[in-house]
Amino acid sequence: MSGPSATDATPIESKQQLIDYLAAGCKPRDQWRIGTEHEKFAYDEASLRPLPYEAAEGAPSIRRLLEAMAGPEWTPVTEKAGKIIALKGADGGSVTLEPGGQLELSGAPLETIHQTCSEVHRHLDQVRQATDAIGAGVVGLGFNPIWRRDEIPWMPKGRYKIMRDYMPKKGSLGLDMMTRTCTVQVNLDFSDETDMIAKMRVGLALQPLATALFANSPFTEGKPNGFLSYRSHIWTDTDPDRCGMLPFVFDEDFGFERWVDYVLDVPMYFFMRDGDFYDASGLSFRDFMDRKLPGYEGVEPTMSDWADHLTTVFPEIRLKKFIEMRGADGGPWGNLCALPALWVGLLYDEEAFADAKALIADWTVEEITRLRDQVPKTALNTPFRDGTLNDVARDALRIARKGLKNRQRIRAGNQLDETQYIKPLDSIVASGKTFAEDLLDAYHSRWSDISEIYEECRY
């Protein structure tokens, strides 16, 4: 869940400015980068409870965790009340907080999966040192496996209070999305509008496959919940105005303007002025552009308001000045490198991208929607045409491997290319079993108690 944008006080005078904002993301191939984001649950090592923002002196807390990580590499970021709510990296990355205290790394834009994976390793090492110092831990899962929604502490960020009040008006699971889920996603570039359209279509069609491959959320409040990716299921009852599969992406007229029209029709949450959040939940950004926002008539919208509004749509794939692949559960260390490797392999090499487009060329919107609806429960066992989604996964991994090999990004020292990073997915497809199914096997056999999941999945 992205935070507020950098400040741009340019007034919005026309829809064309909003279209141009997205189009400004177009980059030549040699400037394409990879940005990886991943969230994890922080917990008290003694009680396994989620960390509150603040706690009694000496007890672990989110505030102490951020303070322990701050230093030459990470500069503290505070909201107006003066509380530290994020860390800003010198390289363009950041560490932020999700509503329930989930700790998120928003990685820097990097050139190779080697660099991305090094960033992941460095960050998790820093987190491990900080959590060890305060008596805490972090775990990689898609959904909190034990604690109830009312047991999750809320973080002191202004936008989250507004969203917390609004979410229950739109769906029954929105607060669970905010407080009890973790994801890993990758952000990728495009060269022009045509390239963006093609990547959005391939990405949207294959997003259920990513959900299946990375399924890792089979428990709720200490028991199996009947899903392999409960995190993915939660999005189906969060807010129909801003979530889902977006069939219009496959329409002939899809492009930057169509995306702008879609986002303009998504109700607002808030806007910011001088560090304060103003509640505009349920109101229209179109009215805002006309200076007719109820209760705020005459307030002039800015390009920062637009950038922030773009972060409040939550479909399976999201367009900003780059494309966000949003379908995967949080999970094991190796998966944090495997997700960007999968999508870079499919989309960043010309030959592999052509194969990926051919793979999904005759898929219908109905088939894709059906996959999205079924994979939270059945993952790779989901039926598709004459086989299962696992058969599609074999083809997709073959294409991704080709793309990574063609990129010829060789790591100095060991002379390995980027194909090494999709090996965890090769193992999953070969066995046909996701991490969620492995965890369920452990729950029904070798674990004496669900609490063992924390040690098993700890970073």
Mean pLDDT of 61-90: 93
CB atoms within 10 A of CB 373: 15
Q: What is the pLDDT of residue 201?
A: 98
Q: What are phi and psi of 328, to 5 degrees?
A: -105, 145
Q: Which run of H or of E encompasses 325?
A: strand 323-329
| pLDDT the model gives residue 240 | 97
Three-class secondary structure of residue 62 per DSSP:
helix
| pLDDT higher than threshold 80 for residue 171 | yes
- pLDDT tier for residue 227 given thresholds of 50, 70 and 90: very high
SS3 36: strand
Which of the four pLDDT bands, split at 50, 70 and 90, describes residue 309? very high
Q: How confident is the model at residue 79 (pLDDT cuts 50, 70, 90)?
A: confident
Strands (E), 45-124: 74-78, 84-89, 94-97, 103-106
Write out the two tokens for 279.
């509640």
Q: What is the pLDDT of residue 58?
A: 92
Quote the distance between the C-alpha of residue 388 and its chain's center: 26
Token digits of residue 347: 């989309």
User: Does position 130 have pLDDT exceeding 60, yes or no?
Assistant: yes
The radius of gyration of the chain's CA atoms, rounded to the nearest angstrom, is 21
Q: Cα angle at 49 between 126 and 164, to 5 degrees?
A: 95
As a whole number, mean pLDDT of residues 140-150 equals: 98
Res. 5: pLDDT tops 60: no
Tell me the CATH architecture of domain 15-266+313-451: 2-Layer Sandwich (3.30)
Does the pLDDT value for residue 128 go beyond 80?
Answer: yes
pLDDT at position 413:
78
Six token digits for residue 171 = 């769906």
* For residue 3, pLDDT beyond 80: no
Paired tokens of 320? 């900003």
Residue 412 confidence (pLDDT): 80
Question: 43-66 burial by CB neighbour count: b if 16+ within 10 A, else e?
Answer: bbeeebebbbbebeeebbbbbbbb
Mean pLDDT of 66-75: 95
* Average pLDDT estimate for 151-155: 97
Instruction: Please count the helices (runs of H) and the strands (runs of E) in the chain.
Output: 17, 17
- Answer whether residue 6 shows pLDDT above 70: no
Cα-based angle 181, 182, 184 (whole degrees, multiple of 5): 145
191 touches 28 (CB < 8 A): yes
Q: For residue 360, name the pLDDT band (cuts at 50, 70, 90).
A: very high
The pLDDT of residue 186 is: 98
| pLDDT given for residue 82 in this prediction | 85
Domain ranges of the chain: 15-266+313-451
Express each pLDDT in 275-290 by its tens digit: 899 999 999 999 999 9
Count of residues making up the chain = 459
Of 283, 81, 323, nearest in space to 202 by CA: 323
Q: How confident is the model at residue 81 (pLDDT cuts 50, 70, 90)?
A: confident
User: How does pLDDT run across 328-339, given as a tens digit for each residue?
Assistant: 999 999 999 999
Pairing of strands 243-244, 314-315: parallel
Residue bearing the bigger pLDDT, 79 or 179: 179
- Average pLDDT (171-197) is 98
Looking at the predicted structure, is the pLDDT value of residue 4 above 80?
no
What pLDDT, in 10s, does the model give residues 99-123? 999 999 999 999 999 999 999 999 9
